[in-house]
Amino acid sequence: MPMSRTARVAALAAAAIAAGGLAACSSSSGGSSAAPPAATATSSAKIQTGGTVNVIANSGPDHWDTVPAYYTADYEFERVYARQLLTYPTVPYTGTSGAGWNTSTTPVADAATEVPTTANGGITDNGKVYTFHIKPGVDWDTTPARQVTAQDFLREYKAFFNPVSPVGNAAYYTATIAGMQAYDNAETAYFANTKAHPATAANIANFQNTHSISGVTAVNSSTIQFTLTQPASDFLYMLAMPFTSARPVEYDSYVPNSLQLNEHLISDGPYQPTDFVAGKSVTFVQNPAWKQSTDAVRHQYVSKIQLTIDGSTAQTQLSDIQAGSQDLIDDTNVNPSSIPALEASKAPNFQIWGGSNTQPYLVFNLRSPNQNNAVGNLDLRQAVEYGLDKVAVVRAGGGPDIASIINTVIPPGNTGYVNSNMYPDASGAGNVAECKTLLTKAGHPNGITLNYDYPSDSTNTRLFEAIQASLANCGITLKGTPEPGSSIFVDLGNAPENNKPGTWDIGQAAWFPDWYGNNGRTVVQALFEGGQCVVNTNNYSCFDNASVDSDIASAESASSLSAASNFWHAADQTIMQNAVIVPIMSQNFADIASTRIRGVLPDGSTYQTALYNPNIGGPDLGEIWIASS
């Protein structure tokens, strides 16, 4: 749902922003975002077993139920107690290109026996039917242990539209799986009558167990089949989202996302939660039902994982990590003011990992009536494209170790990305002369003042000030309105209410994809598809272009990755020609663990500290061990 998505965007934006405390003085345009060269170092150190990993959090996960969970802090722990048909391996990488990045962002089999393809017979009917077989031995931690079945996965999809706490993002599935939208409509209509159908555990379970989704079928206990409305080259990525985890039948006894459910979590991963104290702590111990032979991406080297939620600040948490009283951080980012010293120290337990995002970008309110719809004029928008000094903004954000300039809608490391710049600007430093020429052509030879919304935290304020100063050089004055991060994305997305009145002309937004690689659905469609100018939209500009919509539809139904890539790139180019947004940079992520934590790769080799997983947005708790010295 939109609010859950906003929470995840805000959390990831904060993670990248936290790395913005570095001082630097230069940047370069294009290419993949960088990270320290040591990121690929591994060793054959003998893995030690046992011990307790201590994880500290300010507020911790906001959901333990896998259906609504849509937050980095949720994903970090779901990794060890919830399995999907497909998932992502965790390996070291330096940027958004190369073998490490490609491996980390390509789905592999998890509970499924293999990734379906046309060659192995798993994808049939011209790309519209996907068949998965579940590995024998993937078991729930019940007494006695019980095999995870196709019905358990089907149960999760039926829980997507429960009236209490629905799935984090339904659109991926309603747009692709046959019958999913109809099922959503039916359940929503049924529970709309709250008097006749109160949202009790029994009523929710009864509805879900007596209704079917035509496009999701449990062929038998070990086979699940999905039928799509049309081919979707990115469908496998959707099935690696934690929303799609197996769901045990015992959950039918609890209201979704309730304290009762949280206190009775059932695991099919390497660790099982015990001693659940809401808002305070959760202990994870080894799950005796889990078998390493069924799991190629997780391990069970530590005896226990202890989560403590105490409201501590970033500085306190960093001090605890450095002192060794805590090992990993769940939901708080490395203290920004400490990053320069950490980077200079070359400490092996501190790492800056490459990211692929658009953080921040400028978005134009195409419907603003201010000054006769000034930002509706293409010449004015292109003046901003030329006038912005992206080098200065990157410098304000921490410099080239923390961010790389981008000039396209699709960030590096994703299908359809081509390193190009439609508005040549001296390698990102801006073209003031062209900005002034276009501003005059737009009818503003003496300059113009525009309303500008931006997040009010210190780092985003620093970014705004750099943006404001660079555009002032060519006669564009930004009248800034700071907003808390908890509300700005809601306000930008409250179209059409906020757009037509002109409460803002330009907004300072941020976007992080839900997956990487073939992810145009999570970038281009989410931000630019026409008809999306609704409350809680991510199409903040209310952009509507028939050519872009056609390319989106063609990309999503493409039968091959190369064909999809061409359509996504074409949409990117059209959007940039229309100057709907000004991409600025893609930010990286700073992470630290205690000195005793080691990462482990799927091949058993050891990494110098905890491994960061870009799809989790944090360390992989299933790939760690504790070194005694």
The per-residue pLDDT for range 74-113, each reduced to its tens digit, is: 999 999 999 999 999 999 988 888 889 999 999 999 999 9
Span of 42-56, 123-137, 222-236 with lowest mean pLDDT = 42-56
pLDDT band at 171 (very low <50, low <70, confident <90, very high): confident
Which region, left, alpha or beta, applies to residue 495 given φ > 0 means left and ψ of -120 to 50 means alpha? beta
What pLDDT shows up at residue 498? 76
Contact yes or no for 118/50 (Cβ under 8 A): no
The CATH topology of domain 358-587 is Dipeptide-binding Protein; domain 3 (3.10.105)
Q: Within 10 A of 393 (CB to CB), how many other CB atoms are there?
A: 26
What pLDDT shows up at residue 333? 77
Whether the pLDDT of residue 25 is over 90: the answer is no
pLDDT per residue as tens digits for the range 540-549 = 999 999 999 9
What pLDDT shows up at residue 185? 96
Mean of pLDDT over the chain? 90
Whether the pLDDT of residue 27 is over 60: the answer is no
- Give the domain ranges of the chain: 31-312+590-626, 358-587
What pLDDT shows up at residue 13? 52
pLDDT per residue as tens digits for the range 245-301 = 999 999 999 999 999 999 999 999 999 999 999 999 999 999 999 999 999 999 999
Cβ-based neighbours of 629, under 8 Å, separated by 6 or more: none
What pLDDT shows up at residue 36? 44
Whether the pLDDT of residue 502 is over 50: the answer is yes
What pLDDT shows up at residue 485? 74
Contact yes or no for 16/386 (Cβ under 8 A): no
Closest by alpha carbon to 287, among 158, 145, 165? 145
Kindly state the average pLDDT of the residues 174-189: 96
Percent of the chain at pLDDT exceeding 70:
93
Query: What are the backbone angles phi and psi of residue 410, rounded to the nearest 5°?
Result: -85, 120
pLDDT per residue as tens digits for the range 383-409 = 999 999 999 999 888 788 788 999 999
3-state SS of 114-157?
A: CCCCCCCCCEECCCCEEEEEECCCCEECCCCCEECCHHHHHHHH
Closest by alpha carbon to 399, among 451, 339, 442? 339
pLDDT per residue as tens digits for the range 448-500 = 999 999 998 878 899 999 999 999 999 999 999 999 876 788 788 877 777 78
Residue 177 amino acid letter: I
The model carries a pTM of: 0.87
Q: Is the peptide bond before 360 cis (omega within 30 degrees of 0)?
A: yes
Whether the pLDDT of residue 5 is over 70: the answer is no
Assigned token pair, 305: 């994982």
What pLDDT shows up at residue 1? 31
Contact yes or no for 359/510 (Cβ under 8 A): yes
Q: How far apart are CA 337 and CA 473, in angstroms?
A: 30
What pLDDT shows up at residue 7? 47
pLDDT per residue as tens digits for the range 557-572 = 887 889 999 999 999 9
pLDDT band at 532 (very low <50, low <70, confident <90, very high): confident
pLDDT band at 31 (very low <50, low <70, confident <90, very high): very low
Span of 111-115, 302-306, 614-618 with lowest mean pLDDT = 614-618
What pLDDT shows up at residue 400? 83
Span of 316-320, 336-340, 445-449 with lowest mean pLDDT = 336-340
Alpha carbon 399 to its chain centroid, in Å, reads: 23
What pLDDT shows up at residue 18? 45
pLDDT band at 29 (very low <50, low <70, confident <90, very high): very low
Q: Which CATH number fits domain 31-312+590-626: 3.30.200.190, 3.40.190.10, 3.40.50.280, 3.40.50.2020?
A: 3.40.190.10
Q: How far apart are CA 171 and CA 185, in angstroms?
A: 13
User: 511 vs 212, which has greater pLDDT?
Assistant: 212
SS3 244: helix
Whether the pLDDT of residue 22 is over 50: the answer is no
Closest by alpha carbon to 510, among 530, 532, 492? 492
Cα–Cα distances in Å, from 41 out to 34, 125, 472, 609?
16, 44, 45, 10
CB-neighbour burial class of residue 8 (10 A; exposed 0-12, middle 13-18, buried 19+): buried
User: 94 vs 238, which has greater pLDDT?
Assistant: 238
Assigned token pair, 34: 């960088």
